[in-house]
Chain A
């Protein structure tokens, strides 16, 4: 294949990737988009296999087969509730692959036309080490995020003194190592960059707690793109640069949307240490307040007599896997002629769009699932808000209490509806550690228990 033909095929596959993302603007066009993405990937791989220097088809074929079988098995078996972990795990693989490709380019620069061992072009060395650095951070950061999401590592933010100073020093040290690496091109410096970047990746994610995970997952998504970009620059490969930039931009925008959903700057989330210790401050004055407890029959009675219900799902629904029971409940209500809709807060769950996927899994039509801006004006006209496993995203303190850590965060205005039903396991505060005053209001009924069991019991009572 001539260079021009290669460049042309790569261009086609880059365009197909852009269409793949474009398709996601609507659920109906999204599946076609996914197919564009697959075709783009196939074109990219076949084009690369046509290179004169690519000879060992057996080994490459075997490697693709092994990876393909592993990837397919995991993707087919994974529970939809475990998606955030899966995505984090996949990000770590992109990061690690970037490190290995950079290492390969370093050990055999001639294959990539970037010089010979010991005298690789300086610009290539810089690009290579940046790709390695971002790749290694993506790898270890994602592994840690995976652990936190999976529950193997505590989801609590771990904070210690001089955290940010230490990270900054490590970062400067890596910059220093990169300079040395460009000057003397020694393998030991290369691997030092890898190892110290891995350590930095862990330190960057360690202070970030559970509910901030949507931001972290998006950020790592972004990093995996920039890592691909770095490799693209090293290999002077436009396809890698374009794709990396698309993915990087995508992750960056998602991080922005997520942190805006919490009214915090990305920097603030990255620096971490939110929540965790604050729950002592507000819990004292709550003992004398009265809460109204209810059971499934009460809830069924309230729901049955409403004209319109808005369901507000949160991470608790995902944990309890309550989406199917919830759908069953809303089907009965709809049969009674009650309007049922779902309100999704941008940061509900552990990854962007988490709730939407779970509801879609339970066959909830996407027309019934609305975003914060779309549904908020409707709460005053709604009789019952049914909050299942969400807390902070409904807390009116975000609007009224300037001292609250969640002040300024956009919330779902459930307090404006006539009645609020809260399914919660206990009176514990949400992730932010802030007491939710809604629990003590006259028109609030608390339903204590497992979200799934509660929905099933409500279904029983409704029948």
Chain B
């Protein structure tokens, strides 16, 4: 995608620190009651590593690197599907309860 040079590293580092700062403020605003879903969703999005896995699995043929890529795609997919679904399940339990229905 891009050539690897020192400038790119510095750009990456800039992005990294800015993202850390955003992460810091966003995560502190998460209500403690939702800390479990927070772990679920961060778990799912950290599997965006699938992007690298797809690139590795991209070429034709069956090179070593492609096998590694495919294994990583499987692992990351387990996490993406599992992470989002389990988060969805948790969050749907936090729906505002209808008092009449619940007290029956």
Interface residues of A (CB under 8 A from B): 3, 6, 13-14, 17-18, 20-22, 24-28, 30-31, 33-34, 37-38, 40-41, 44-45, 48-49, 51, 53-56, 59-60, 63-68, 70-72, 74-76, 78, 80, 83, 86-87, 90-91, 93-94, 96-98, 100-101, 103-108, 111-115, 121, 123-124, 217-218, 221, 224-225, 227-229, 231-251, 253-254, 257, 331, 334-335, 344, 346, 351-354, 356-357, 360-361, 363, 365-366, 369, 371
Contact = CB atoms under 8 A, between A and B. Distances in A.
A80 B70 CA distance: 31
Contacts of A38: 84
A246 B28 CA distance: 12
Given A101-B49, A237-B1, A59 B57 contact: yes
19 contacts: A27-B31, A31-B91, A60-B58, A71-B77, A71-B85, A87-B39, A93-B47, A93-B76, A101-B56, A103-B68, A107-B68, A113-B2, A221-B39, A225-B42, A227-B49, A242-B15, A245-B19, A247-B43, A248-B23
B91 A27 contact: yes
B84 A37 contact: yes
A25 B72 contact: no
A240 B48 contact: yes
Contacts of A225: 42, 46
Nearest to A54: B58
A233 B12 contact: yes
Contacts of B28: 253
B30 A111 contact: no
B86 A48 contact: no
B89 A237 contact: no
A94 B79 contact: yes
Contact of B45 (A41, A232, A235): A41
Given A41-B48, A103-B68, A241-B16, 16 more contacts: A37-B45, A38-B84, A48-B54, A48-B55, A51-B58, A56-B60, A64-B74, A64-B77, A80-B90, A101-B49, A104-B65, A233-B9, A236-B4, A241-B15, A246-B42, A366-B33
Interface string B74-104: 1111111111111111111111110100110
A95 B64 CA distance: 19
8 A-B pairs closest in CB distance: A67-B77, A249-B23, A353-B35, A71-B81, A108-B65, A71-B82, A104-B56, A352-B35
Given A56-B59, A221-B39, A115 B84 contact: no
A27 B12 contact: no
B79 to A, nearest CB: 5
Interface string B6-50: 101101100111011011101111111111111111111111111
A17 B26 CA distance: 11
Q: Which of B37, B51, B57 has most chain A Cβ within 10 Å?
A: B51
B19 A246 contact: yes
Contacts of B57: 54, 56, 59-60, 63, 104
Which of B56, B88, B92 has the most chain A CB atoms inside 10 A of its CB?
Answer: B56
B4 A121 contact: yes
B36 to A, nearest CB: 4
Contacts of B93: 80, 357, 360-361, 363
A181 B86 CA distance: 39
B49 A231 contact: yes
Contacts of A353: 32-39
Contacts of A113: 1-4
Contact of B76 (A28, A94, A111, A361): A94
A247 B46 contact: yes
Contact of B36 (A67, A97, A251, A354): A354
A258 to B, nearest CB: 9
Contacts of A360: 90, 93-94
B58 A56 contact: yes
Given A34-B88, A241-B12, A26 B31 contact: yes
Contacts of A123: 4, 6, 9
Given A71-B80, A335-B103, A21 B91 contact: no
B49 to A, nearest CB: 5
B85 A6 contact: no
Nearest to A123: B9
Nearest to A41: B80
A70 B78 CA distance: 6
A86 B39 CA distance: 11
B56 A33 contact: no
Contacts of B91: 27, 30-31, 34
B61 to A, nearest CB: 8
A228 B49 contact: yes
A277 to B, nearest CB: 31
B79 A97 contact: yes
